[in-house]
Amino acid sequence: MSTYACDAAAIRDAAQRLAGIVHRTPVMTSETFNRLSGKQLFFKCENLQKAGAFKYRGATNAVCRLSAAAAANGVVTHSSGNHAQALALAARRRGIPAYIVMPKTAPAVKKAAVEGYGGRVTLCEPTLTDRERTANELVAQTGATLIPPFDHPDVIAGQGTTALELLEDVPDLDAMIVCVGGGGLIAGCTIAAHSLRPALRVFGAEPSGADDAARSKAAGQWLPQTNPNTIADGLLTSTGQLTWPVIRDRVERIFTVSDDEIRATMRLVWERMKLIVEPSGAVAAAVALSEAFRAVRDIHKVGVIFSGGNVNLDRLYW
């Protein structure tokens, strides 16, 4: 029995459930990135996933796992980012309503994307308290099921399928770098990776302006995110009650990178790999290029996850 909310069996079940629904995203390489990092890097391109990010995996797994009776009432979440779009699309695929609470300050392009996938948007004040209150009111009014962005066993299991695919394509990796926001992706990927390769080393990647996971690892206890400030807007939240224990126990180290490093890496990915990644999606690659990671010994082949590619093309970050 796993000591965590999600185990390897749940991730394998999710992989079977999601087959033919989510994209099996490609793994790509770049001689430029290999030269700059001093290692062989293998990029798992979740920026090419449906809805533009890995979030579609967890959202779809959670929606598929609902009973027919529960699904009929729909799903609710509060998110201004990729989870909102992913849940709206997953719900539309099953033919059920998706009630999405978004802050009034959310960019119009994100609201339009959620509505384009069929989500029913409710705007609220831009505070976590108001987002949670509004979501709970919708649950009470509609009977819909709350599907949070990361702290949910089915969501974590869905995200873990990313690592299963990566290790099927590149089975002899020495290490994996995964970005950390709420922690759903890194928790699921760590459990999946260690089920196949127990000795594989997993590293987290965070913006220095939103470094709660790094501070928590250093302190040996969960610490909340406080006043995050970074262009990587998908990584602003604290790790969750279900995701933090996996990070605490199984992730070797969290590396942080500056916004300037994120911008430079994002631009390099666009220019050299011809792939669109968002700031949050470039954080793991920025760590791979950092001096601190270059100094890690006995690592040669590294999996790097491009977590998403949803950018506002009216605002180029450099």
Digit-coded pLDDT (tens) for 252-309: 999 999 999 999 999 999 999 999 999 999 999 999 999 999 999 999 999 999 999 9
User: Is residue 50's pLDDT more than 70?
Assistant: yes
Residues 6+ apart with CB under 8 A from 161: 11, 14, 15, 18, 22, 57, 61, 188, 192
Q: Are 114 and 84 in contact (CB under 8 A)?
A: yes
Segment 224-242, tens digit of pLDDT: 988 889 999 889 889 999 9
Q: Which of 30, 37, 79, 80 is catalytic?
A: 80
Which has more pLDDT, 312 or 156? 156
User: With bands split at pLDDT 50, 70 and 90, how would you rate the model's confidence at 129?
Assistant: confident
- pLDDT given at position 1: 42
From the list 248, 246, 206, the residue with the least C-alpha distance to 228 is: 206
- pLDDT given at position 312: 80
Range 135-146 average pLDDT:
96
- pLDDT given at position 318: 75
- Report how far residue 311's alpha carbon sits from residue 109's, in angstroms, rounded to the nearest whole number: 9
Let me know if 55 is a catalytic residue.
Answer: yes
- pLDDT given at position 194: 98
- Report how far residue 40's alpha carbon sits from residue 212's, in angstroms, rounded to the nearest whole number: 29
Q: Are 162 and 142 in contact (CB under 8 A)?
A: no
From the list 134, 154, 152, 166, the residue with the least C-alpha distance to 45 is: 166
- pLDDT given at position 51: 94
Let me know the angle formed at the C-alpha of 15 by 11 and 18, rounded to the nearest 5 degrees. 130
For residue 279 the two structure tokens come to 């700031």
Which has more pLDDT, 242 or 313? 242
Domains of the chain: 8-54+152-306 (3.40.50.1100), 56-146 (3.40.50.1100)
Give the range among 17-26, 62-71, 205-214, 307-316 with minimum mean pLDDT: 307-316
**Mean pLDDT score of the chain, rounded to an integer?**
95
Range 83-87 average pLDDT:
95
Of all residues in the chain, the percent with pLDDT exceeding 90 is: 87
Residue 216: what are its φ and ψ, rounded to 5°? -65, -45
Range 198-219 average pLDDT:
97
Q: Which of 44, 50, 55, 110 is catalytic?
A: 55
User: With bands split at pLDDT 50, 70 and 90, how would you rate the model's confidence at 107?
Assistant: confident
For residue 81 the two structure tokens come to 């980012």
Give the range among 66-80, 84-98, 123-137 with minimum mean pLDDT: 123-137
Of all residues in the chain, the percent with pLDDT exceeding 70 is: 99
- pLDDT given at position 106: 79
Per-residue DSSP letter, 233: G
